[in-house]
Amino acid sequence: MKATFGLGCYWCSEDVFMKVKGVKSTIVTCEELLTLFWDSHDPTTLNRQGPDEGTQYWSSVFFHSKDQEKAAKVMKEKLWNSTKFGNKKIVTEIVPTSKFWKA
């Protein structure tokens, strides 16, 4: 399975996913990846994660299939309905994947 996320500094993000048992080049199940994604950054901050600021730090899920799109939207909705972020809006974009530039 292939999944693409944007959640701030890629070194820190990659480190989170690479700690998952069985991950090779950051490969795990869609649900597990989405859970790590939502738990590893603040999806309520627009174009910023921690001290990093700019449009390259926006929170995003790039889906590769309709199943991935649905799973991401379901989890986003669950978070929105929870009290985890209070009344802050979740600004994470869920969009189709496009050209990927490896860093």
Catalytic site positions: 9
Q: Quick check: 60 and 76 in contact, CB under 8 A?
A: no
The distance of Cα 84 from the centroid of its chain, to the nearest Å, equals 16
Q: What's the full length of the chain, in residues?
A: 103
Backbone angles phi, psi at 60, to 5 degrees: -155, 150
